[in-house]
Structure 1
């Protein structure tokens, strides 16, 4: 059986260009509904090694979770380059851009 980390990596790798998923959504689909912080750790420690599209993962409010100014802007510009539009208050409309892997809502 696959571990939570392996399932989360597969889910993150499958997020298509122009779509986002939330930390909690990934955790729930990977089998740990309360594992959002673990998803954060996976992204932090494994993004380079597995070439994860880390910029496509945001919080449940539709906001970029990074507080560091430079990284915030890198993530925002990366999402905008894929066609994702932000509201005036720097949020992504999850009704429009949230990715639902097959069979998951």
Structure 2
């Protein structure tokens, strides 16, 4: 069952997520900082996990600060790879090359 989230914060996160271009990724913490909530990267992850309730968003472009993918979402790697995202040998996104600069 979805957790009730602040609609203003949800809109801020989703609006930023839409701005991430193909071939780039952002971290949960980066999005949290951009909406003025630097301590709320888990809140961003929570919103992303429920994003399908609000429409079609490029959730696959969000990773953790080290470039790790969502653990239970195998399709994420394929979607990013198809956009040209570069991965390191350990399977993480190369954040130096592919992190969205906003």
> Same fold per TM (> 0.5)?
yes
Residue by residue over 1:8-35, the C-alpha shift from the partner in whole angstroms, topping out at 9 and shown as x without a partner, is 1110111100000000000010110011
| Residue of 23, 39, 63 corresponding to 2:44 | 39
Instruction: Show structure 1 runs of 5+ residues with no match.
Output: none
Instruction: Show structure 2 runs of 5+ residues with no match.
Output: 1-6
Contact 2:25 2:61 in 1 (8 A): yes
User: TM-score, normalized by length of structure 2?
Assistant: 0.86
**Which residue of 1 is the match for residue 13 of structure 2?**
8
For residues 1-105 of structure 1, what are the structure 2 equivalents within 5 Å? 3-64=8-69, 66-68=70-72, 71=73, 73-101=74-102
4+ residue runs over 3 A deviation: none
